[in-house]
């Protein structure tokens, strides 16, 4: 996986871990507030509403000045306390379930992001392989064309009269290229071209070409330079 994909993956995992830690901290704080009596059922429901993406009631979290919450004289104090405890326990369970839901959603989003990153990386690797394959195919095709072109060049030299062929051969800018032509040609026709070099300047250029042939194929050079009896 590339460096860019690794950075994105670490960023997504860090965000998910941060969100989960926040949820755990929220649940712990709610539990402490409930245990200390600083949080009642109505305020807890408002917190749950915020976790679900809603808006808290402005009056629910701000009690009216001087207003006191008292149990009905007809209801025993123990029943009121038990009911409040049960309600707080129920609200705490709601918070826990909500945190589990958010945690599951974050895990699903993280899995989706990882899947997208994997797909992008795979497609990028496939594209790179296709480019390399195309370059290799193009290079192979170019080599084949050069080989075919060189073979046609040899056929042309063999079809020319020696006096004409030697003029074209000696006109090549590189002696190595001329030596390759003599190496690939029919021995008899190549020798006729060598012997067609009669003038002084032609003889000097031919000596340089034959020296290149001698370096790579001494036996071939001997055949081209031998004098018929």
Q: Rounded CA gap, 211 and 66, in Å?
A: 117
The verdict on 88 and 182 lying in the same domain is no
* pLDDT beyond 80 at 51: no
**SS3 labels along 65-84:** CCCCCCCCCCCCHHHHHHHH
Please report whether residue 68 resides in a domain.
no
The verdict on 112 and 36 lying in the same domain is yes
> Residue 170: pLDDT band by 50, 70, 90 thresholds?
very high
* pLDDT beyond 60 at 74: no
The verdict on 40 and 123 lying in the same domain is yes
The verdict on 93 and 17 lying in the same domain is yes
The verdict on 124 and 45 lying in the same domain is yes
Most confident of 42-51, 153-162, 218-227: 153-162
The verdict on 103 and 175 lying in the same domain is no
CB of 177 within 8 A of CB of 146?
A: no
Please report whether residue 147 resides in a domain.
no
Q: Rounded CA gap, 48 and 46, in Å?
A: 5
The label of the residue with tokens 């021995």 reads: 187
Runs of H (alpha helix) within the chain: 3-36, 41-51, 77-159, 162-170, 175-184, 187-195, 200-216, 218-225
**DSSP symbol at 52:** T
Domain count, the chain: 2
The verdict on 122 and 189 lying in the same domain is no
The verdict on 98 and 186 lying in the same domain is no
The verdict on 87 and 42 lying in the same domain is yes
Please report whether residue 142 resides in a domain.
no
The verdict on 199 and 131 lying in the same domain is no
Please report whether residue 205 resides in a domain.
yes
Q: What is the mean pLDDT of residues 11-32?
A: 61
Please report whether residue 69 resides in a domain.
no
Residue 19 belongs to what domain range?
Answer: 3-62+76-135
> Residue 98: pLDDT band by 50, 70, 90 thresholds?
confident
**SS3 labels along 94-119:** HHHHHHHHHHHHHHHHHHHHHHHHHH
The verdict on 96 and 31 lying in the same domain is yes
The verdict on 108 and 32 lying in the same domain is yes
Please report whether residue 35 resides in a domain.
yes
Q: What is the CA radius of gyration of the chain?
A: 46
At 111-141, the pLDDT tens digits run 888 888 888 888 888 888 888 888 888 887 7
């Amino acid at each position: 996986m590339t460096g860019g994909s690794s950075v994105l993956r670490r960023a997504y995992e860090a965000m998910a871990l941060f969100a989960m830690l926040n949820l755990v901290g929220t649940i712990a704080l709610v539990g402490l507030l409930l245990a200390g009596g600083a949080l009642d059922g109505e305020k807890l429901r408002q917190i749950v509403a915020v976790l679900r993406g809603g808006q808290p009631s402005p009056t629910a979290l701000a009690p009216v000045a001087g207003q006191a919450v008292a149990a009905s004289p007809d209801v025993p104090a123990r029943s009121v306390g038990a009911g409040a405890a049960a309600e707080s326990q129920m609200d705490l369970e709601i918070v826990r379930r909500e945190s589990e839901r958010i945690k599951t959603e974050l895990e699903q989003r993280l899995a989706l992001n990882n899947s997208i990153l994997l797909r992008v990386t795979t497609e990028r690797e496939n594209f790179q392989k296709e480019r390399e394959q195309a370059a290799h195919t193009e290079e192979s095709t170019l080599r084949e064309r050069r080989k075919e072109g060189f073979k046609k060049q040899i056929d042309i030299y063999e079809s020319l009269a020696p006096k004409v062929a030697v003029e074209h051969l000696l006109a090549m800018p590189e002696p190595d290229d001329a030596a390759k032509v003599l190496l690939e040609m029919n021995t008899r026709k190549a020798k006729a071209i060598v012997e067609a070099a009669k003038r002084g300047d032609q003889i000097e250029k031919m000596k340089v070409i034959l020296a290149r042939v001698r370096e790579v194929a001494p036996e071939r050079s001997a055949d081209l330079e031998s004098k018929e009896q």
